[in-house]
Each structure stands twice: as C-alpha cells, then as structure tokens.
Structure 1
Amino acid sequence: MDVDTKFEVPVIEFRSLDLERGTDEWHHLCKRVREACETYGCFEVVYEKISTELRNKMFGLMKDLVELPLERKQKNVSSIPYHGYIGPGSLFSLLYEGFGLVDASNRDSIKNFTQLMWPDDHAQFCDTLWIKGEMGVSDETLVRLIKYMAPPTRDYERGLHAHTDKSISTIIFDNQVSGLEIEVKDSQWIKLSIYPSSFVFVVGDTLKAWSNERLKVVNHRVIMNGYKNRLSIATFAIPIEGTIIKTPKELIDEQHPQLYKDFDCNVPPIRDRCRSQAGDITKLILALKQFS
C-alpha cells in the first residue's frame, strides 16, 4: 500500500564549512542529522565532493562488471555470508545480482578485487573506486555493487525484500533508476527519488541498539518495474572485530531505561531487553534454541 506522496524524508546538505568540528555550523548540522535519524531513520545527503561526472563514471564501469562471464563473477567469494557474489535466483530476488568488497577503504583490497575480475587489469575501475574510498569512507566497510534487473513482465516485481540493515549505517547511491522504497507506516511505502548529486543515509540495527533506540531504523526494499536496470552502490559501516556495543550512560535515564545488554558485534547477538513482555520472552527462548 502506498502513502501520501507529500511525505518526504529530510534533505541535508553537507558543505565543507559545516564539517569543521566545534563550529556553530557543525553543531547545527549535527542537530539536523540527529533529528532526521530519530524521526525517519534515514535522510537524503547532498555532498559537493561527489560530482555527477564521478557518479556517471562509476556506474559506467559497473556495467563492465555486471557483463563479465558468470564464472568470473563467482570468484568473488567470502567466508562471511552475503559478503561475496550473489547471483540472480538467490534468496534475495530473481532480479538481484551483487558483488561484495570488504575493507573498501584499503587500496589493496580494491586492487585484489579488480585483478580477480579482470586478470589483465582494469586500472580505471580500481582508481575510480579508490577515489570513492578517499571520500570519507570509514576503515571497516563492506561495499556492495548491485544490479537490479528490469522485470521481464515490466510489471512491479520485488528486487530486494523488506529489511533493516545490521550494520552501523548504510550509504546508498544509484544510477537514477528508481526502485528504493521505505516503509513509513505499517505496510505503507513510499518510493525515494533523490537528486543526481545525492545519496541516502540509513540507520542500521547496531546504531539503533547503541543509541538505546533513540535512533530509528527503517524498513526498506527495492521494487522494480519498467525497462531499465537499476545499479546501486551500498556502503555498510561495520564495527571492527572485537567491538562491544554499549549504550552511553548519557542516553539512559528514567524515561529511557537501558534496553540492550552490551554485546559483541561479531557474535550473533541475543539482545535481551531489560523490559521484557511475554512476547519478548517467547522470542528470547526461540533465539536461545536457535543458537544452542
């Protein structure tokens, strides 16, 4: 079910002046980001350093990637689930195809991925993705390069099921082919249409837990129709190994009791709520059985 098209997520411009920590501009920007994350769980970012030229170049190179032979694509493997190549017909969707690039801010990681896909070298792909890596991507990241195929029937079909991200946060930008939707109310969805110079910031489950649920996570999905393929790049911020997620004491008070015990991000967490209801206890028992 769709919702009123007048509903819009915040659009926040990140200017170099605003990024000087401690300035009035910085505090104003932080306030706007916090309010957007509390209310919507996502917002649209306009960032001057990501040019239209760079975006077009990157998606042009992604077309080279998705046109590679299947046996070459399948060399993108990982011991971590969903961190390598996922082809059409997976649990994700018949229309979904994606590559995983771990530690994307590391030039060697990008170079290794490039050589795996193009043994004869593709310096342009490596250099372009590395430029992206220099634009503020954190040290621990997973980048997924994704293609959503136009549905054969040209009717509405699922490109990716509804979900929240398990990461700290996600940054998504695309080739201006629509499809990304967010759930604004139960079973009510709106399609996000962003400017060519923009991308979408999404709060992840880990950040929600760290903030003691002060920040909201939003269900999102991809629904495809029409004749054009959708290309997108999703950058997931992931805690470094051994990180313990612990809610700061400043976010705990009588109105906001602690909801999550401290947990290790690299161990499947069983997040015990301090304020358990009968339904929560049942879910916890099922979770304990799952991991026993």
Structure 2
Amino acid sequence: MGSDSQYQIPAIEFAMNSPELDRGTDEWYHLCKKVREACENYGCFEIVYDRIPPQLKAETFCVSRELFSLPLEKKKKNINPKPYQGYNGPSVRYPLYEGFGFEEASNYESLRSLTEELLPHGHDQFCTVISMTKKLDELKNMINLMILDGYGLEETSNSFMVSKTLLKLMKYTAPPSRYYSIGTPVHTDKAFSTILCDDQVSGLEVQTRDEQWVKLSISPRSFVFLVGDYLMTWSNGRMHAVKHRVMMCGEKERYSLAAFALPLEGSITKAQKELVDEDYPQVVKDLHYTDFSKFISSE
C-alpha cells in the first residue's frame, strides 16, 4: 500500500524568461546541478513548468477521454505488436488499465492516418496531441542539455540521447472495492526518460532508496521527470532508474499521459566514457535497444 508520508521529490522550477534557462550562465549551471542531483538521488523530480499552457493539457485529456470512450471493438483495431504501441486493453492481471501508444506523435501525417481511423472527424483532436508532443519534446531536449552540462560534458555531442518520442495516453478505472488496487505493476521505464502528467487524480507511487512506497502529489502546472533504464546505463549507474507503479483507490477514474524518450531502432547505449573511472567502474552492460525490447516483451 502507498504511504501518505510527507516525503517529497525535488520540485525544480523552469521559469519562462529566467536566466536559469540561458545555457552558459551561472544560473543555468546551478539549475543543471539541481537536475543531476535529483536524478542521482531520487531518480525523478517534479518539473514546475509554465511553457505548456494549462489549456493545452486540458484539451489533451479531453482527447484521451474521447478515445477511451470508443467501443472496445474499435479500440482493438489499433492493436500493435510493437512494445508499448497501439492499444492495450484491460487484462486479467491488470483489469483497471488501458493505454494508447502513439509513436511519432509529433508527426502530422503519421498521427493523422491513425487518428482518422479512430476519430473520423478528429482533426482538432490530433492537432492538440501533436502540439502537446512538440512541447514535451522541447522540454525533454532542454533537460538532456542540463544533464550533459551537469556532468561537465558541454563539449560532448548529445547524440547519445537521440531518441524517438512515444506518447502514451493512459486510463485507470476506479477499483470496484474501496481497497487499494494495482493499476500498473512495479517497474522501471525502458526508455532514456519519461515526462508524465495526470488529471489530478492521484495514483502514481515511487519507491524510495530505502524501499518505501510513497504517493506523489503534483501541482496542476507540473510534470514528473523519471529516469529510465537507458539513462541509468548511459550515466554508468550514477543516475537512479526509479521503480514506480500506479495504485488506485476511491471512486474517480484516472487519466495520465507520458512522453517516453526511446532509443532508435538498432542503437546501442553505452556507459559514457567520461563517467567511468576507478571510483565508478562500469557497472552496467551495454544495452542494445532491439534485443532488449524483445527480451522485456517476451514471456
């Protein structure tokens, strides 16, 4: 069961028009240090961010509700054999969860063909999803630079984090009983990183370093950044791939969205050589994206 303790993950503000967001300033490097330490010590942090209008977030959740309200037969037409993509319906083990995964969700043509099949008159809806994905991509790219600069790797190409964005819309049905029920099981994200937000219905829990579970409560204008397995590998284990889950309780449905930064097909993620030394010998094997994806989606 999740804890109602006062445990707080770091809340880091990325304020519009602030010198903290001007790369190369003292304020920027101070912010980079905060981001790096949060990723190392907690594996996650709250992003207080005002460059994504609340209205855009609200409209994206409206699209999500419309998609999930479609008949099951129609949703199943979007089933995709690739991990995390297409429609995932409730299962015997996890009956509260449904998800839609959209690869290349910032690509107009790619998303249009898919959305028009599900929502024939959904032009405005998929434009909203594209706008949200582009905003999240901008945020992801900025955090990538902060991570580089936080380790003093300004001169290093950020090609290590060249990625594709998988946008995942998720719905969790309220449990039939008043007891805590599993929405999604304990896991770390099989991505470089994840940026996540919800519709203010709680449920997301993270595991602390001392293996306690705590429920996160995030402000309406905030997002959560989660370190994934590939970023942990790149940092040679310095960054903490945080275990998390969704636990449902109460009478409200929960809607959330996540932007996963996935490696490109066939790419290999290695520990950054500057982060391997006598104090930090290489602790994680190289991760081949295609092989790893097949492994985690197998029985």
Q: TM-score, normalised by structure 1?
A: 0.87
Once residues 213 and 242 of structure 1 are traced to their aligned partners in structure 2, the CA distance between those partners, rounded to angstroms, is: 22
Q: Does 1:7 align with 2:7?
A: yes
Picking from 35, 38, 47, the partner of 1:45 is 47
Q: TM-score, normalised by structure 2?
A: 0.85
Which residue matches 2:114? Answer: 113
Return closer, same or farther for 1:90/1:34 CA change in 2, 3 Å cut-off.
farther
Once residues 105 and 213 of structure 2 are traced to their aligned partners in structure 1, the CA distance between those partners, rounded to angstroms, is: 31
Once residues 96 and 4 of structure 1 are traced to their aligned partners in structure 2, the CA distance between those partners, rounded to angstroms, is: 23
Which residue matches 1:161? Answer: 185
Q: Counterpart of 1:238 in 2: which secondary structure?
A: strand
Asked whether the equivalents of residues 36 and 42 of structure 1 are also in contact (C-alpha less than 8 Å), the reply is: yes
- Deviation of 1:81 after TM superposition, in Å, equals 2.7
Picking from 281, 284, 292, the partner of 1:257 is 281
Q: Does 1:27 align with 2:29?
A: yes
Return closer, same or farther for 1:227/1:50 CA change in 2, 3 Å cut-off.
same
Asked whether the equivalents of residues 49 and 222 of structure 2 are also in contact (C-alpha less than 8 Å), the reply is: yes
Which residue matches 1:275? Answer: none
Which residue matches 2:84? Answer: 82
Q: Counterpart of 1:49 in 2: which secondary structure?
A: coil
The letter of the residue matching 1:104 is: A
Which residue matches 1:188? Answer: 212
> Where does structure 1 differ by over 4 angstroms across 4 or more consecutive aligned residues?
1-4
- Deviation of 1:213 after TM superposition, in Å, equals 0.2
Structure 1 residue runs without a partner (length 5+) = 271-286
The letter of the residue matching 2:110 is: S
Asked whether the equivalents of residues 76 and 100 of structure 1 are also in contact (C-alpha less than 8 Å), the reply is: no
Q: Does 1:127 align with 2:127?
A: yes
Return closer, same or farther for 1:62/1:136 CA change in 2, 3 Å cut-off.
closer
The letter of the residue matching 1:259 is: V
User: How large is the Cα RMSD of the aligned pairs?
Assistant: 2.1
Asked whether the equivalents of residues 116 and 123 of structure 2 are also in contact (C-alpha less than 8 Å), the reply is: no
Picking from 175, 190, 209, the partner of 2:233 is 209
The letter of the residue matching 2:185 is: H
Asked whether the equivalents of residues 233 and 285 of structure 2 are also in contact (C-alpha less than 8 Å), the reply is: no
Once residues 236 and 200 of structure 1 are traced to their aligned partners in structure 2, the CA distance between those partners, rounded to angstroms, is: 12
Report percent identity of matched pairs: 48
Once residues 169 and 209 of structure 2 are traced to their aligned partners in structure 1, the CA distance between those partners, rounded to angstroms, is: 29
Kindly indicate which of the two structures has a greater share of residues assigned to helix.
2
Which residue matches 2:100? Answer: 99
* Structure index of larger Rg: 1
Which residue matches 2:159? Answer: none
Which deviates the most, 30-39 or 46-55? 46-55
Q: Counterpart of 1:57 in 2: which secondary structure?
A: helix
Equivalent residue pairs, number: 271
The letter of the residue matching 2:177 is: T
Once residues 151 and 187 of structure 1 are traced to their aligned partners in structure 2, the CA distance between those partners, rounded to angstroms, is: 25
Return closer, same or farther for 1:225/1:269 CA change in 2, 3 Å cut-off.
closer
